[in-house]
Amino acid sequence: MAKLATYRAKRDFTKTSEPKGATSRRSGSSFVVQKHDASRLHYDFRLEMDGVLKSWAVAKGPSLVPGEKRLAVEVEDHPVDYGDFEGTIPEGQYGGGTVMLWDRGTWTPEGDPHEDYATGRLSFRLDGEKLRGTWHLIRMRHPREKRSSWLLIKGDDEHARGPDDPDILEEAPLSVKTGRSLDEIAGRKAAKKRAAKKKAQAAPSKAQARAKPSPQAGPMPDKVEPCLATLVEEVPTGPGWIHEVKWDGYRLLAFVADGRVRLVTRNGKDWTKRFPGIAGALSALPVESAILDGEAVMLDENGVSSFAALQQALSSETKGVASDAVFYAFDLLYRDGDDLRPLPLGERKARLAKLLAKSRKAGPVRYSEHRTQGGSMIRTVCRKGLEGVVSKRVDLPYRGGRNEDWVKTKCTDEQEFVIAGYVPSTAYENAIGSLVLGYYDKDRLAYAGRTGTGFTRDLARDLFRRLRPLRTDRPPFSGRLGAQQRRGVVWVRPELIGQVEFRGWTADGIVRHAAFKGLREDKDAKDVTREKRHALSASESGGAKTMSANGTAIAGIALTHPDRILWEDQGLTKQELAGFYVDIAEWLLPHLVDRPLTLIRCPSGAKKSCFVQRHSWAGLSDAVHRETVRDEGGEMDVLTVGDIRGVVALVQAGVLEMHVWGATLADLDRPDRLIFDLDPGEGVPWTRVVEGARAIRERLKAAGLESFVKTTGGKGVHVVAPLTPGAPWDEALRFSRGLAQAMAADEPDRYTTTSVKRERAGRIFIDYLRNNREASAVAPYSTRARPGAPVSTPVSWEELADVAPNGFTVRNLRKRLASLKQDPWADIGRLDQVLPAGGKASKRRA
């Protein structure tokens, strides 16, 4: 009852209908957000904990934009049954005004909620009707107000939105309990007046009714020029656009008449026999005649379209027939005597959805769904490995040709190229090793470089078979080629087209790191030009710009030169590194946030000049925090990050390695982690390093300390023992030095504590000096500025012997994390253990 004493003291329950309530005895996990129109409009955010609703007043309401901080002032605990309250608090009473139940659901803490609440850093997931995904409540360190001030921040996940996406508060303003507005809950007449006004505005005048587009009666045309999308830099925003998945397949126009179907490519080829399953499903549609526009694709087990799989399905092995292909229809151009092309897209799609109502999500013919939020859609699509997004003006008729009625935004650079030659394989007979690429600039064929990856052995031989009859003596390019460009090439007539994925263009027009995806047969070679991204005007894009699909803004941080190569051996760009950290943020941030940083900056890439950075510099983003802390000389500046925006800001500054102190800002003088760095000398096998790590683990166990292990991204490992801050740094150093020196004394042929390289050959250097106040070690999940883009990665003790010391990289770590059933370091923040006093262990589990 004491928990609700403040709540009850502020209210006269003879005058207010708010629940008097009692502390709940059940263990619940509900959350609610109540929209409260009192002296000023705000949102009350409540989490059920210990039988009450912990409550915060959020003045501006929650934001779905990651990193966007919303002030949340903690208020008195409320009873759990307050979570169902919706109504009006009388004027003159505390909180007088209207209360709406704006959202409700359950919440799941990501750590110990009591400990995290006490320390002021509460991370959790919401599963509500409006708010979902990861969220953070962070108490401000030095609140001046009488009541504790916190920050409510959305985590960056699939439920997040960009800064230019619609505001959830405006998009979903009504009650989840009754569907009413604040006016309706208060019993005001304003809601009725607004509804009447809206209806009057929506009613068309006679002139408008006469001008409204309508279908045109007439016979079904034999051919239609398809509408083609223009490549743009950014997903357009605004209510005038809808957004669809950009399917990775073959564009087809489907002509249906009296049960007969004709499937036509965009260059007019009849491919009906190549897609018998699609043709059969279309013939069964309840129409006499129709024209549908869509894409034929092959789907993998995750529902992702794969152009390579489609090519394989259409290969000579299957006689060019893709029986299992799926047709995603996204437009209806004609039906039963009516030409629908003059209608706006929204009307055409509504009619298409109705036609495909029975098969829209299954079967060979499916309806291509759309969304109205392009910014969040491009992030979701790219995370799933899809090709990109096509955005369409919802109010325009269907117009053939390439225009800006439809625009496309791609997750990666990809387009068609003319195949102008090949270099024979040195590994297989009668196979190609690489292809020479080109594109047409007006009537001149321009050289675009080569691609030597993406070929299976069968595909390399199939391409050789197709290209051999096209051999010619002279290069088909209009310009003069250098000796290196001509070396070893067999030239062919420029007739075949390849789909190629690449990572940008060089200054002289050559594709970087190109990978072959398959042949295209639905386009003429003369139509292959270099696709360039166009910028939409503010009127065309719907106003403010959102995130660029090629990565110019990630997590709200603008990236300059996003295509700058940071690891040349991997072709890994700045944009890709930023995206990698965003994807693994929930694994990275617990080991990084609020710890002083030592950074390795390599602005020109891992192979170029790198340098150590410990303090702020000109142009440092505000997303990276500058803190002043005490040191032996008085004071010093340190850098920290508080969220994923800070990490991306470091990437923008060319940071390739993030090293952290063994203590947090909350208590810099007392470490919360001991680190033993095992660095093998020349000739030491990995098995010996594993044995050394296990030996340290056993010695720590004997001292009452549990430990964890991670690869460093180099040759060695780190053994980490978490501590409850208590002992000062000199005790931590004394303990770790004693343990390391004892191992070196017991087995001097295996271990050493000296850093002199000539004395380390054949032995493992145990570096205990990481356990100093201003020393640092590479953070878990940080990249390293080394070949291959390795990542320092936590592993379990059981799997340590089976991993490679630098085997986890930016390219493969996401797959590892997705496959883990449990975080190998899940307990590192839950152990309550301290350094032994007098050699005796003192340990307990929280």
Q: Which positions are annotated as active-site residues?
A: 246
Sequence-separated (6 or more) residues with CB below 8 Å from residue 734: none
| Separation of alpha carbons 503 and 14, rounded Å | 69
Q: Where are the alpha helices (DSSP H) in 203-329?
A: 206-211, 276-283, 307-313
| Separation of alpha carbons 527 and 75, rounded Å | 65
Place of tokens 């800064």: 163
- On the 0-12 / 13-18 / 19+ scale of CB atoms within 10 A, 542 is buried
| Separation of alpha carbons 607 and 667, rounded Å | 37
Cα 525 off chain centre by = 36
| Separation of alpha carbons 328 and 348, rounded Å | 15
| Separation of alpha carbons 356 and 640, rounded Å | 54
Sequence-separated (6 or more) residues with CB below 8 Å from residue 60: 42, 43, 70, 71
Q: Residue 586 is inside which H or E element, if any?
A: helix 585-588
| Separation of alpha carbons 125 and 138, rounded Å | 14
| Separation of alpha carbons 282 and 285, rounded Å | 5
708-711, strands of its sheet edge to edge: 751-752, 764-767, 673-680, 717-722, 708-711, 794-795
CB 300 within 8 A of CB 268: no
Q: Is 788 left (phi over 0), alpha (psi -120 to 50) or beta?
A: left
The CA-atom distances, in angstroms, between 134 and each of 64, 65, 137, 153, 782 are 10, 12, 11, 9, 21
| Separation of alpha carbons 449 and 182, rounded Å | 62
Which tokens belong to 37?
């129109």
Q: In b/e form, how buried is each residue of 758-784, taking b as 16+ CB within 10 angstroms?
A: eebeebbbbbbebbbbbbbbbbbbbbb
- On the 0-12 / 13-18 / 19+ scale of CB atoms within 10 A, 510 is middle
Which tokens belong to 582?
């965003």
Q: What are the phi and psi torsion angles at 190 (to 5°)?
A: -65, -35
CB atoms within 10 A of CB 573: 24
CB atoms within 10 A of CB 688: 17
Which tokens belong to 611?
């340098």
Dihedral, 139, 140, 141, 142 alpha carbons, nearest 10: -130
- Strand ranges inside 273-348, DSSP E: 289-297, 326-335, 338-339
Sequence-separated (6 or more) residues with CB below 8 Å from residue 775: 661, 662, 769
Which tokens belong to 12?
């006269």
| Separation of alpha carbons 511 and 488, rounded Å | 19
Q: What is the 3-state secondary structure (H, E, C) of 689-724?
A: HHHHHHHHHHHHHHCCCCCEEEECCCCCEEEEEECC
CB 790 within 8 A of CB 661: no
CB 793 within 8 A of CB 813: yes
Place of tokens 């696709």: 531
